[in-house]
Amino acid sequence: MTISRGFFGHHDPDAVDLPPGQHLTHGFPVLTAGPTQLVSTEEWSFTITPESGEPKRWSWNEMMALPSEEINVDIHCVTRWTKLGTQWRGVALDTFFEDIETDDDYTMVHSYGGYTTNLPLEDLVGGKAWIAYEYEGEPLDVEHGGPARLLVPHLYFWKSAKWVKGITMQRFDEPGFWEGFGYHNYGDPWREERHAGD
Ligand SMILES: Nc1nc2c(c(=O)[nH]1)N[C@H]1C(S)=C(S)[C@@H](COP(=O)(O)O)O[C@H]1N2
Ligand SMILES: [Mo]
């Protein structure tokens, strides 16, 4: 990025590296298919279910006892907005997966309310994905998936399931909600993988 006049007030759109076909937004649009889910931290839990073997479940307090990280990332929505430098706090999926033994290569992420999205396991581990519960220093707003959402910033934002409830491990890949309606199975914004066939 080059330092230009006005740099300290706003990002110069010519000076930042955006994925193809994206433009900057300074707001934080809300995109939800269906109703906002109201889940209290008392009822919230997160479960990883291997295809064979024992599911592992974390309550809210158990998640809070895990080491958390501050996460500073750019996010890219398939509807073409990109938001730079968002700041989150959450627990890396690596921390949850330390307790999971699985030979399965694929995952299905499930949300309260029934939303689903599919990801290869390797996109959830290696410091690339988190269960996020704070945004810009505040508890995550319910419209944005609070009390906790998946955050997978290297893929289009539909993969970042709001009101996340659990992950099931799968031997074979299957489409989630939007993937079943023609969105790309993987969704890399830098390759502009918006729709199936892109
Ligand atoms: N549970 C759930 N998660 C979801 C969605 C949804 O409809 N339900 N929409 C997805 C889509 S298409 C996008 S672009 C982002 C939007 O997140 P935001 O509303 O925080 O901007 O959430 C993703 N996660
Ligand atoms: Mo989206």
Domain holding 113, by residue range, is: 43-191
Task: Identify the CATH number of the domain in which residue 121 sits.
Answer: 3.90.420.10
- Amino acid letter, 189: P
Ligand 1 site residues (CB inside 6 A) read: 29-33, 77, 111, 113, 115, 144-145, 157-158, 160-163
Residue 53 has a pLDDT of 77
* pTM of structure: 0.93
Residue 69 has a pLDDT of 98
DSSP-based three-state secondary structure for 60: helix
Q: What is the chain's length?
A: 198
Residue 10 has a pLDDT of 52
- Asked if residue 20 is part of any domain, the answer here is no
Q: Describe the chain by its helix, strand, coil percentages, rounded to 5.
A: 15, 30, 55
Distance 78 CA to ligand 2 centre (A): 5
Candidate from 26, 30, 31, 109 with most ligand 1 atoms within 8 A of CB, to mutate? 31
Ligand 1 atom having least distance to the Cα of 32: 7
- Asked if residue 3 is part of any domain, the answer here is no
- Asked if residue 196 is part of any domain, the answer here is no
- Asked if residue 35 is part of any domain, the answer here is no
For the chain, which residues score pLDDT lower than 70?
1-15
- Asked if residue 16 is part of any domain, the answer here is no
**What single-letter DSSP state applies at residue 177?**
H
Contact assessment for residue 87 and residue 71, using Cβ atoms and an 8 Å cutoff? yes
Closest to 39 (Cα-Cα) out of 154, 196, 164, 147 = 147
Alpha carbon separation from 90 to 18, 63, 117, 128, 160 (Å, rounded): 25, 9, 19, 12, 13
Distance 103 CA to ligand 2 centre (A): 30
- Asked if residue 124 is part of any domain, the answer here is yes
- Asked if residue 116 is part of any domain, the answer here is yes
Residue 96 has a pLDDT of 98
Number of independent structural domains in the chain? 1
Residue 14 has a pLDDT of 55
- Asked if residue 175 is part of any domain, the answer here is yes
Residue 2 has a pLDDT of 45
Residue 52 has a pLDDT of 77
